[in-house]
Amino acid sequence: MNIVAVDIGNTNVSVGLFLDGKEESIQSLPGAGEADLRDCLVSAWQKIPVLESSTQGKRDGVIVVGSVKPVWTELVRRMAGESLGEEIRVVGEDIPLPMSAWVDEPEKVGADRIVSAAAAYAVVEDAVVVADFGTAVTIDLVDAKGVFQGGVICPGFEISAQALKDNTAKLPKVVVHRPTTPYGKNTADAINCGLYYSIIGALEEIVRRYAEEIGHWPQTVITGSAAAMIKDDCPFVDNYVPHLVVKGIVLAYVKHLESQSEMD
């Protein structure tokens, strides 16, 4: 099974190549860089072997997309058609979500949240919290039976830093990084410490409240572009998994194939 899995976020796009079900590479790049994104997509697709039975060089693979940004979904659809002569399959549209969601409006939950939750549960096979640190921060709970229960959404570091700059007279815009001390000696460092430690504190408090709700402390998995920066200051986190959404997109497609074979 050969898959190019594309995770379209609000800021970045990740392109993963899986050959015979094994991860070969995952590359992340700004979604606004159309030329680079096209090159990345074409490069990944060209590594998929050609079908032995094809006389036209058709490759033995699929392009599966999980997206929270429809305009970029259409961009990738156009790129795949124009540059590769291929159609994409979109999780939540062409491919069912891999996990049921016990929420008010399941169809409005971002596909990225569901597929990453499903990927984490597939490994843990018990209650698990999945926190994704991207443009927004999502902290979601899956119960012991593998049902997505919902979660919280917080502003990410970039949004929070921009909001402080835009809504005050003198505070500067900062790029959040891991502090050397828990307090700042100047305004920029004070903002950095505040944003950095507040999101870690929020994560720990939210996980604690989830634990009180379900009666035991769930395993906690973090992912996303900013997760690598904070992981060493989160001793309560069990695992840091880069590109969990990409892996969840692959899982969604595999489960879809399995359900189809069972119906045949």
Coil, strand, or helix at residue 62? strand
The CATH class given to the 106-247 domain equals alpha beta
Q: Which residue ranges make up each domain of the chain?
A: 3-90, 106-247
> Is 9 labelled a binding residue?
yes
Q: Which CATH superfamily is domain 3-90 in?
A: ATPase, nucleotide binding domain (3.30.420.40)
> Is 135 labelled a binding residue?
yes
> Is 112 labelled a binding residue?
yes
User: What amino acid occupies position 170?
Assistant: K
| Torsion sign over Cα 167, 168, 173, 177 | negative
**3-90 and 106-247 share one CATH topology?**
yes
> Is 168 labelled a binding residue?
no
> Is 11 labelled a binding residue?
yes
- pLDDT confidence tier of residue 259, bands split at 50, 70 and 90: confident
Which residue matches tokens 């992981």?
A: 231
Q: What does the pLDDT read at residue 52?
A: 81
| Torsion sign over Cα 39, 40, 45, 46 | positive
Q: What does the pLDDT read at residue 57?
A: 76
Q: What does the pLDDT read at residue 264?
A: 58
Task: Count, in order, helices (H) and strands (E) of the chain.
Answer: 7, 10
Q: In this predicted model, what pLDDT tens digit does every residue of 222-247 receive, in sequence order? A: 999 999 999 999 999 999 999 999 99
The Cα–Cα gap between 201 and 184 comes to: 17
Q: Give the percent of the chain with pLDDT over 70.
A: 99
Q: What does the pLDDT read at residue 238?
A: 97
- pLDDT confidence tier of residue 192, bands split at 50, 70 and 90: very high
Q: What does the pLDDT read at residue 40?
A: 96
Average pLDDT score over residue span 188-199 = 98
Residues known to be catalytic: 112
> Is 13 labelled a binding residue?
yes
Q: Among the listed ranges 42-51, 53-62, 102-111, 162-171, which one has the minimum average pLDDT value? A: 53-62
Confirm whether pTM is higher than 0.75: yes
Q: What does the pLDDT read at residue 263?
A: 63
